[in-house]
A and B are shown apart, each in its own frame.
Chain A
Amino acid sequence: MRRMLAGVFGAVLLALTGCGIPAHTEVEVDGSGPAVAAGTASYRRDEPPTRTASGDDRAAFVRNFLSAAAGEPERAYERVKQFIAPENRARLQEKQGSEIAVNVVRLTEKPVITENANGLFSVRLPVQQVGLLRANGVLAPPVATETEYRFGLRGTVSPGQEGTEEAGLFVTNPPNVLLLSADALRQYYQARPVYFWSSDGSRLVPDQRYLPLAVPDERRVSEVVKWLIAGPSEWLSTGVSRLPDRTALINNAIETEDRWEVNLDLPGDDNRKLAQIGTQLAWSLPELNGQLQLTTRNQSRAAIPSLRQHRLEHPVYPGTDNPQRFTVYEGAVHPLAFLGEGSAPVPLAAEVNRDVLSAGLSRVDDQVLAALVVTAPGGRQRLATGSGAGRVQIVNPSPQTFGTVGRPIWLRSPDPRRPYGLVVADRRLWRFDDRGRMDPVPLNVAGPVTAVAASLDGHRIAVVIGGALHVASLNVDGGVVTAGPVRKVATSLTDLSAVDWAGENTLLLAGTAGRSAVYEVSIDGALQTALVADVGARVTHLAAYPTNPVVPLPSVLIMYEANGVAYRYPQRDTIRRDQVLDVTPPPSGGRAGSPTAPFFLF
């Protein structure tokens, strides 16, 4: 009986130990997996043409060769090497990852293709080095100094190599760099700003990036986030703040039902920081209007329900709408009236508004800032600055007097109590405040300064030093305006006389390209457009109301003065005297002066 009992106990024990989690089971199918999303991927567009696309057209072939590097940088070498004769491909030494950089050059002349003996061709490319397009989309200042490149061309069937049926040409003896023409840059890249917060955290400062059009739309968000994480361009780095160190994008940003999700590894895990990044992204991704969600590894979240709405609520340039035109006429500032545009009275008291040579006005909320270049005794000039609510009653003349003073500009500082402006006086750059105090601003490039312009964000300036264009960031920390390192911009125009900002990342230049001309160039000089090819005389003043994403305008509004005559663009007409308002009619028969030094108040 007891044995039976023991047997029963044993069986129970065995059953109990046997009913645990099994060590192995058969495969169980839980259902079908997710199906392939049909055709969501936008296919590659705007790939540069392949080697054989040009056929036997040598000029087209050279053009295509100069655009072959366009596209995703990881495969730039692969694309370029398709153009190179197989025996010469080793000459192009490949670099990896972030080392990959493309030399952007501007052809100063058409490529010179000459035929040698043996049916070979040699090509000479006279170029201007524009910059180095890095893998992160930044067009850095050029490193190379070559002014021309030479290489050879041959047909596909080279002597001693029979039987290849391929058509087209090959590059022989290629230069050991990736070359990209500025035209190809314009054609195969999208120039787009990304925004960084200024060092004081008050403003978003745009920075220019080039995104290959070959990158599919789905990856653009990821690319932009990576750019933001990688930091600003070198010349901007003193004026803007970077994201916290070791910030990283976790995988790619993905879109789920019109909502973009960005996973970040954010040290410190600061919600305020996250919100700032959200605003940065909202402006850096202007094509997105839907939802954006930022998530950190620690599950902090910052959700922007509507990017469009967010941009409206957080304008990148506050208070820049409603520009008003003014001009200097007979020693006083007068408003200009054009058909279809509003005008306003001069926000200057009459006793202030005299002996004016040129002026710079700015509006911060209700505050009007005025900087007037006025005549000083002894044929000299001085700056008089002041501020006032709605109307400037008193101006404070600067203690210094100068031989010549350029048009003063106000920095669009977010702090109305401490306005600063810049002015070129006697070939030096000065800063001033609204109490008439002037101090020189040191620059790290020697040379006579002839023009200065400040961007909408107030943290970048363009200066013409020694007739060449330079850009620099401004740092207004501690109430003192200092300029960061100056970056030289290669342009076709020479002998620059005036500069202003035409947009967030474009500049207006007045200079000489054979003839006096006004060009719109990108901030790095790579893209340039001739707005006015032949002004007829040297441009002495240039003022613009820049295009910006807050106040959409079809084109930049420009007014310039050459040879004592003021013009406006895009209307391309002169500003006539009768368009000047509040003018006491001159005594009859007296020679009427013309309006000069026109500018915008916004």
Chain B
Amino acid sequence: MTSTSNPTPDTSAGWRPAARMLGRALVGRVLGLAAGLHQTWRRSLQVRVVTITLVVSSLLVGGFAYLIANKITDILLENAKTDTLLRLRSGSDYAGKQFSLYQQPQEAQLQDTIEGTVNYLAGGDPQQTSGVVVAITADRYAGIIETRTSPATDVRPLVSPELRAAVADGKVAHQIRTGRLADQRTKYLVYGSPVPTSFGQLELYYLVPLNRQDAAAADARATVLATGVTLVLLLGLLAALVTRLVVTPVRVAARTAQRLSAGLLDQRMAVNGEDDLALLAASFNQMATNLQRQILRLEEMSRLQRRFTSDVSHELRTPLTTVRMAADLIFAERDEFDPAVARSAELLQAELDRFEELLTDLLEISRFDAGFAMLDAEPTDLTPIVHRVADRLAALAERVGVPIELDVPGTPVIAEIDPRRVERVLRNLVGNAVEHGEGKPVRITLGMDETAVAITVRDHGVGLKPGEEKLVFNRFWRADPSRARQTGGTGLGLSISLEDARLHGGWLEAWGAPGQGAQFRLTLPARAGDRLTTSPLRLVPADAALPFGGPRDGELLTIGPAGGGALAIGPVPKTDDDRAEARS
């Protein structure tokens, strides 16, 4: 006993992991399949329409098919019942008359009469096999009158005690039973009726095989089912065709729209016929044409504008050169003039410098706008550039009293950059910082990692108001329009710097807070053409106060949800749990 029972846990133990694995694999596959199906469902209108059509039509057709098949079966069965009931009634009538000649169940001829009656009611010829079995039983005279059937068989298994009881109670009753009388199991409609006689009651039973009705019902069912399935499939096919008819132009339209948005403005849809889809295609094409015209017009205008700017700049340069030469002459001779005139010559000289600068910047900008700016990248050490810029602006810094601090690594910071442009950007940033430094130190930090290099320029001036971080890069933008320019800024410096940074594939970002100064960060990829993901330096300086004033000493910060899907960082709200928090 034990020897046989022992292996069972082993095998089950061996089975379990395998089953678990199998189950897991199965679940995984099913989940994968479900995910795939879900994706298909979401993506394909056709699949959705066809599926819904199939499901709804299956339900409808199935319902109808069920009703029809049920009705047919009911009718067949009802007919059989009516026929049998008629036969039964006339049969019991006949039998009753036959038996009315006998006064006692013991009479010798009664048995023969019962036998003859049964044979007669069954169709006369006992050899005949219509399948109908007629039986006369005498439940009350079990010992005296034998049960007779025609054809001779044992009908007791098919006549249930309930039916016997009902018939014995003087009722005509019926029941469907399945049983084996001949060689195969058959459904029988069993009808029973009492046969009153002078000495008491006998029972007459008709057992009608329902083979024919069953076969007819199955036939009808199969036909209805086949028709239904065909109908559903046809409906699905129809839905697929119709959807395809609609979806295909929509897909073409989508593809065309994608191409249009990608700039291929001459893409058009094919217009076939005059239907709604043709109208859609025509409208789409018209829209595309209008868009194309508008875009071309705007482009032309923009081009003209840029051309104009460039032309104006160029056209101004020639007279300016003449004016410059004249002004240089006058400036050189200024000592010989009346002091007031000398002063004017100096002013003229300064403003001409600015004018020249402005023209240069305008030309630079227009070059960017025209897309003529070319990156002349080469591996360059940024450290000397930083130093050079700091040195150049040292004089100006000294004049306004702003010390420039450098935080540069000792090792060379090599990156593939255009040194001229990077220097221009740095000069611009540091110049701005010095200009807005308000006497406080300006700090230049150089940082790098594997993929990028970054330079931040930090000042502690008035800073930027919220929102101004973006505006600073706009052309001719001014934080305080009323403020006079002290330095010779053109208002285009940061715009040009931003274009330079973009030309490198880098970032130029600004941070600032009122009273806390500002910080600009230039991040450039270490290799030209690489995409930037992070910057080696932080945009927000470490000494910057948090917008809410920062946490109190020794208190905690919380990070919680804020509006617009952002995270908000703030102090722990004041609650009664304060002490508990502090203690813990």
Contacts and interface: CB of A to CB of B under 8 A. Distances in A.
Interface in B83-110: 85, 89, 92-94, 96-98, 100-101, 103, 107-109
A4 B55 contact: yes
Contacts of B117: 251
Could you say which interface size class chain B belongs to? 35 or more
Interface in B168-186: 170-178
Nearest to B229: A9
Contact of A30 (B37, B173, B187, B197): B173
B55 A24 contact: no
B175 A25 contact: yes
B141 interface: no
B41 interface: yes
B97 A255 contact: yes
Given A16-B65, A251-B113, A256-B97, A32 B172 contact: yes
Contact of A27 (B160, B217, B224): B160
A145 interface: no
Interface in A377-434: none
A16 B225 contact: yes
A27 B162 contact: yes
A5 B58 contact: yes
B334 interface: no
A589 interface: no
Given A1-B51, A251-B113, A19 B70 contact: yes
B175 A16 contact: no
A22 B176 contact: yes
B176 A23 contact: yes
Interface in B141-191: 160, 162-163, 166-167, 170-178, 187
Given A1-B51, A21-B73, A30 B85 contact: yes
Contacts of A312: none
A255 B98 CA distance: 9
B113 A32 contact: no
A346 B449 CA distance: 170
B430 interface: no
B113 to A, nearest CB: 6
Interface in A1-36: 1-2, 4-5, 8-9, 11-13, 15-17, 19-36
Contact of A19 (B89, B171, B221): B221
Interface in A182-215: none
Interface stretch (A37-45, A148-156, A514-522): A37-45
A313 to B, nearest CB: 29
B510 to A, nearest CB: 52
Interface in B212-234: 213-214, 217-218, 221, 224-225, 228-229
Given A19-B66, A254-B94, A8 B55 contact: yes
Contacts of B404: none
Contacts of A24: 175-178
A31 B196 CA distance: 15
Given A1-B37, A16-B221, A74 B108 contact: yes
Given A27-B163, A28-B174, A251-B117, A34 B196 contact: yes
Interface string A243-255: 0000000111011
A318 B37 CA distance: 103
B349 to A, nearest CB: 81
Interface in A223-278: 250-252, 254-256, 263, 265
B39 to A, nearest CB: 11
Contacts of B61: 12
B225 A32 contact: no
B201 to A, nearest CB: 8
A30 B61 CA distance: 35
A254 B97 contact: yes
A222 interface: yes
B224 A16 contact: yes
Contacts, number: 160
Interface residues of A, number: 50
Nearest to A249: B116
B231 to A, nearest CB: 12
A303 to B, nearest CB: 18
A78 to B, nearest CB: 10
A35 B66 CA distance: 42
B137 to A, nearest CB: 14
A216 B103 contact: yes
A425 to B, nearest CB: 52
Contacts of A41: 100-101, 103, 198
Most chain B beta-carbon neighbours within 10 Å: one of A12, A26, A31, A256: A12
Interface string A450-479: 000000000000000000000000000000
Interface string A358-382: 0000000000000000000000000
Contacts of B94: 254
A19 B173 contact: no
Nearest to A42: B103
A124 to B, nearest CB: 34
Contacts of A17: 221
Contacts of A297: 124
Contacts of B103: 41, 43-44, 216
B120 interface: yes
B27 to A, nearest CB: 15
Nearest to A20: B217
Contact of A20 (B59, B73, B109, B170): B73
Contacts of A8: 54-55, 58-59, 62
A572 interface: no
B69 interface: yes
B173 A5 contact: no
A218 interface: yes
B342 interface: no
B171 A32 contact: yes
B461 interface: no
Contacts of A19: 66, 69-70, 73, 221
B313 interface: no
B474 to A, nearest CB: 53
Nearest to A263: B120
B374 to A, nearest CB: 56
Contacts of A33: 92, 167, 170-172, 193-196
B62 A23 contact: no
A74 B108 CA distance: 7
Contacts of B544: none
A5 B55 contact: yes
Interface in B28-82: 37, 41, 47, 51, 54-55, 58-59, 61-62, 65-66, 69-70, 73, 76-77
A219 interface: yes
B175 A31 contact: no
A564 B103 CA distance: 60
B362 interface: no
B526 interface: no
B120 A251 contact: yes
A219 B101 contact: yes
B310 to A, nearest CB: 61
A34 B54 contact: no
A25 B163 CA distance: 11
Given A1-B41, A8-B62, A30-B172, A20 B221 contact: yes
The 5 closest A-B pairs by CB, nearest first: A12-B62, A36-B196, A33-B194, A254-B97, A74-B108
Interface of A: 1-2, 4-5, 8-9, 11-13, 15-17, 19-37, 40-41, 43-44, 74-75, 216, 218-219, 222, 250-252, 254-256, 263, 265, 297
Interface of B: 37, 41, 47, 51, 54-55, 58-59, 61-62, 65-66, 69-70, 73, 76-77, 85, 89, 92-94, 96-98, 100-101, 103, 107-109, 113, 116-117, 120, 124, 160, 162-163, 166-167, 170-178, 187, 193-198, 201, 210, 213-214, 217-218, 221, 224-225, 228-229
15 contacts: A4-B51, A5-B54, A12-B58, A12-B228, A16-B225, A19-B70, A22-B176, A27-B162, A29-B172, A31-B172, A32-B172, A33-B171, A33-B193, A33-B195, A40-B100
